[in-house]
Amino acid sequence: MTKKLPVRSRKRKGSAVEADSFPGIDTPARFYYKGNRLKQLRAFVYTIRLGTLSRAAEALFLSQPSVSLQLKALERELGMPLLERTRRRVTLTDAGEALYAMARPLVEGFENLDREFQAKTRTTHSGKLTVAAGSSTIQYLLPELVKAYRERYPSVHLQLANVTGKDGLALLRADEADIAIGSMLDVPNDIAWAPVYHYDPMLIMPPDHPLAAKQDIRLEDLSPYGLILPPQRLTTFRLVDMVFQQRHVPYTVAIEVGGWDVIKQYVAMGLGISIVTGICITEADRETLAVRNLRQYFPQSSYGVVMRKGKFLSPEARAFIDLIRPGLLTHRDYDESGHSGR
C-alpha cells in the first residue's frame, strides 16, 4: 500500500501573509493589494485630486473596486484612516492631509520621470508648456518673454491659455496648465504667488476733458463723470469699487466692457473716463489721451508667477520662470505642500 506524502500548502503570490505563516520569525502581519505602494499612492492621490473613486478609476484605467482595494490596503498598512467617504465625494482626515502633502509630489514626479529624464539628457527642451494668463497679460506683458523663450527653446510647444483669474486657478488645480502669469488679490492656501512686476493705477481721459487741465486730481473730482471699467468679475473693477467704498466717495459706471484697448478707444471718443493699470499705457496712448497717476488713492497692480503648491515643475516651466526672474524659485517656498479647499 502506497503511503501518501503530506502536501505542503502554498500561498499564492500577492495574497495576504500572516505572521504565523513563518514560525519563529517575528514579522508583523501585513495586508496588501498587489503589494505595490506606488499603485496605492497613485490611487490615493488621484482620488483626492478628482474627488471620487469613479473618476480616479477612469483616469487610472482601473475598475472602481480595484481603486477601493488599493485605498483600503494603504489605510491598513499605515494603520489609520485616510479618507472619509460620503455618497458624493471623499474627504481627507488629518492623517490623509499629511500623507497627501507628501505623496502628491512623489506621484507627480514619478509620472513625469520619463519627460524629465529626456529633457535632462538632451541639449534643448522639446516638451510642452501651458501658461494661463489674462488678455492684458498676454497682450502687454508676455510678448517679449514669449519672444525670448521661443528664441532659446524653439522646439517647445508653447500654449498660452487666455483665461480669467478664476479659470486660470481651475486650470492649475486640474493640471491643465503648468503655471499662470497674472495679478491676484486673494491667494488661496493651495496656491503660491510671486509678484514680479508692479504698475501704478492711471486715470485716462480725452485731452480736452475738464480734468485734463488739473495736475493734482482728488478722488472726489471723479464723481461727476461716468467711468468706463472692465467687467465686475475682474480685479480692476473690484479694486476701484473697494477704494470708492472705503473713502465713501460716490461714483458712476457709464460703460462696462472688457479689453484695455476697447476701453482706451472709448475714452478717446469722449464716452467716459477710466482707471486702468499702467501695464496697458503705451507711448502712443499718451499722444491721444491725458494720463494722470492715481497711486495716492489706488494700490499698485502686481503681476507675477502663479502656481499650485507642491506642483512638480517641468524643465520647460522652470526655464520660462527663469526668464521672468533668474533664481525666482530658489527664493520662495514653492515646494511647500498645499491642499485645495474646492
Cα dihedral sign for 173, 176, 179, 181?
A: negative
Contacts of 1-4 with C-beta under 8 Å, sequence gap 24+, read none
Would you say 335 and 105 are in contact if contact means Cβ atoms under 8 Å apart?
yes
- What span, in angstroms and rounded, lies between the C-alpha atoms of 331 and 111? 26
- What span, in angstroms and rounded, lies between the C-alpha atoms of 239 and 134? 17
* pLDDT value, residue 55: 86
Would you say 53 and 33 are in contact if contact means Cβ atoms under 8 Å apart?
no
Would you say 272 and 227 are in contact if contact means Cβ atoms under 8 Å apart?
yes
What are the residues whose beta carbons fall under 8 Å from the beta carbon of 166, sequence distance 6 or more? 233
What are the residues whose beta carbons fall under 8 Å from the beta carbon of 316, sequence distance 6 or more? 119, 125, 127, 128, 129, 153, 156, 178
The reply to whether the predicted model has a pTM over 0.85 is no
Digit-by-digit pLDDT tens for the chain (342 residues) are 544 444 444 444 443 333 333 333 343 444 444 458 888 999 999 888 888 888 888 888 889 899 989 999 999 999 999 998 776 778 899 998 999 989 888 888 887 777 667 666 554 456 899 999 998 899 999 999 999 999 999 999 999 999 988 899 999 999 999 999 998 878 888 899 999 999 999 999 999 999 999 888 999 999 999 999 998 888 788 889 999 999 999 999 999 998 899 999 999 999 999 999 999 999 999 999 999 999 999 999 899 999 998 888 888 999 999 999 988 865 444 444 444 333
What are the residues whose beta carbons fall under 8 Å from the beta carbon of 276, sequence distance 6 or more? 201, 202, 204, 236, 260, 263, 264
* pLDDT value, residue 120: 61
Q: What are the Cα distances from residue 217, in Å, to 112, 169, 183, 222, 285?
A: 55, 37, 26, 8, 20
* pLDDT value, residue 171: 93
Distance of CA 196 to the CA centre of its chain: 17
DSSP string across 292-316: EE-TTTSPPEEEEEEEETT----HH
* pLDDT value, residue 218: 94
* pLDDT value, residue 119: 60
| C-alpha cell belonging to residue 143 | 510678448
Beta-strand ranges (E) seen in 110-260 are 128-133, 157-162, 179-182, 191-199, 201-205, 226-229, 252-256
Read off the DSSP letter of residue 17: B
